Amino acid sequence: MSKPYSRLDRDNAVVLMVDHQAGLLSLVRDFNPDQFKNNVLALADLAAYFKLPTILTTSFEQGPNGPLIPELKEKFPNAPYIARPGQINAWDNEDFVKAVKATGRKQLLIAGVVTEVCVAFPALSALAEDFEVFVVTDASGTFNEAVRHAAWDRMSAAGAQLMTWFGVACELHRDWRRDIEGLGTLFSNHIPDYRNLMTSYNTLKAAKAVP
């Protein structure tokens, strides 16, 4: 059964970055490494741009999963950072769930590694507690496309909405009149071809400014 359109709201959304750890990133094969890292950092940048509460979590850092990638620590130095001692499902960690609920927000933007475990398990758990879940598909990675689609199907069937970071940004922004340069710069930093649009826009704007 299809669900009615539920629009992302910048005042009701929180970003959950789950297990973007150095060791786990080496397992991602459904995106090329540079593309995937770019997508993860694009999600981080849009979270900062829209001032969305952001929660970072890792699993078993002292093991092969490794540490959180440093760019996320640098981007969110004051964000809740939950280093789970062993729980595979982040939702099984009491501190993580408390951090999510403390935001008072009901729309969860979830991304992580690997998709069918670190993303799917907390997504399904949150859905069971009546949160709205939006999976940022291109900032979540796994072993191959077959595994990825199995995870997407499972989450989608349970009610999760599948989006990309670009779609998330546009739905949160809603209207270009809010801010052209800021969002345009974010897009240009992560989509090289988007720079052409901004160059064209800036050229036309400069021409119009000439008396």
Per-residue pLDDT of the chain (211 residues; tens, 9 = 90+): 678 899 999 999 999 999 999 999 999 999 999 999 999 999 999 999 999 999 999 999 989 999 999 999 999 999 999 999 999 999 999 999 999 999 999 999 999 999 999 999 999 999 999 999 999 999 999 999 999 999 999 999 999 999 999 999 999 999 999 999 999 999 999 998 998 878 877 777 777 776 6
3 domain residue, yes or no: no
Domain membership of residue 200 as a residue range: 178-211
Q: How many helices (H) and strands (E) does the chain have?
A: 9, 6
146 domain residue, yes or no: yes
Gyration radius of the chain over CA positions: 18
Q: Report residue 16: phi and psi, to 5°.
A: -115, 115
131 domain residue, yes or no: yes
Residues 106 and 202 occupy one common structural domain = no
Q: Give the Cα separation of 41 and 209 in Å (integer).
A: 35
Q: Are 20 and 57 in contact (CB under 8 A)?
A: no
Look up the pTM and report it.
0.94
- Catalytic residue list: 118
> Which residue, 80, 82, 107, is CA-closest to 21?
82
